[in-house]
Amino acid sequence: MSRLEIVKTYKIYIGGQFPRTESGRYYSPVNKDGKVLGNICLSSRKDVRNAVVAARKAIGSWSERAAFNRGQILYRIAEMLEGRKAQFVEELQFQGSSKQAAEAEVNLAIDRIVYYAGWCDKYQAIVSSVNPVASSHFNFSVAEPMGVVGIIVPENSSLIGLVSLVLPVICGGNTVVVLAAENLPLCAVTFAEVLHSSDVPGGVINILTGSTKEMTPTLSTHMDVNALVYGGTDPLELKEIQENAVLNVKRVFAYLTDWTKADAQGLHFISDVQEIKTIWHPIENVGGATSNY
């Protein structure tokens, strides 16, 4: 008797859970051979809203977690991804990559996660500063996460684009709502399963699949989103996002980067989504020869 293959249901990831879209809709993207990749959730604006609520709820404990512990958790994502490498390679191939390219992409994704895991307890020391001022104050600047960050990943990449944009943002203590690549959504959902089985608290990363065009306006106008990272290539879409962002003066960052390059990573992807807080602490001389400190 031949066996009936069980086809995976790809669901979205909100607040550490895998609901179906509240709209009940789906779409069926195809690969270049015309094969259907799967029935994928066509998320609605209410899903965007729910994801933002989940991300807001998670921000307190994630941003206040010890930096070292955040690094451990990010490293754990890399460990879990390593264990499921084969599945990602298979999905990338199914979506049109060559075997060689797929393997390279997954390896690079794992390495990049480890790279940002290492940064968690180090970026603060580099981007913060003690500032010389003319009054009797100890004046210092520290980086603080911006809050809830919306991320629109590049359309031409299923895994490495998402990893490259998400990891530096959560590394710095932000929580994120990610709109996955519309026509290459498989790895995004499987990555959510990796997150789920690692130690990332629910709500820190929320991943939605569906029409970017439909979800972007909701995400970019949402008053409870503090910043947006745009990985797409459409200047008109970016312009619309920037205009919407004015509503609550969200920061908008757009990166036109080839994420498959080994050096497409760096401190500025972390520090971009940090606000700098400067503190004036009344004090006498701090570092002078007559200082009591």
CA 170 vs. chain centroid, Å, equals 6
Please list the residues that pair with 144 across neighbouring strands.
275
Backbone angles phi, psi at 205, to 5 degrees: -125, 125
Judged by beta carbon, residue 212 or residue 218, the one nearer another protein is 218
139 or 221, CB closer to another protein?
221
Taking the least distance from each CB to another protein, the nearer of 130 and 246 is 246
Which tokens is 25 given?
A: 């809709």
The footprint of another protein (CB under 8 A) covers: 48-49, 52, 218, 221-224, 247-248
Q: Smaller CB distance to another protein: residue 167 or 245?
A: 245
Residue 197 host element (H or E): helix 186-197
Task: Please give the Cα distance from 22 to 5 (Å, whole number).
Answer: 27
Distance, in Å, from the CA atom of 114 to the CA atom of 142, rounded to the nearest integer, reads 24
Distance of closest approach, residue 165 Cβ to another protein, in angstroms: 22
Count, residues in the chain: 293
Owner of token pair 């797929």: 102
At its nearest, how many Å lie between another protein and the CB of residue 53?
A: 9
Of 224, 233, 119, which is closest to residue 168 (Cα–Cα)?
Answer: 119
Q: 223 vs 262, which CB is nearer to another protein?
A: 223
In whole angstroms, what is the distance from residue 116 CA to residue 109 CA? 11
Q: How far is the CB of 223 from another protein (least distance, A)?
A: 4
Minimum distance from residue 148 beta carbon to another protein (Å): 9
- Please, what is the minimum distance in Å from the beta carbon of residue 49 to another protein? 5
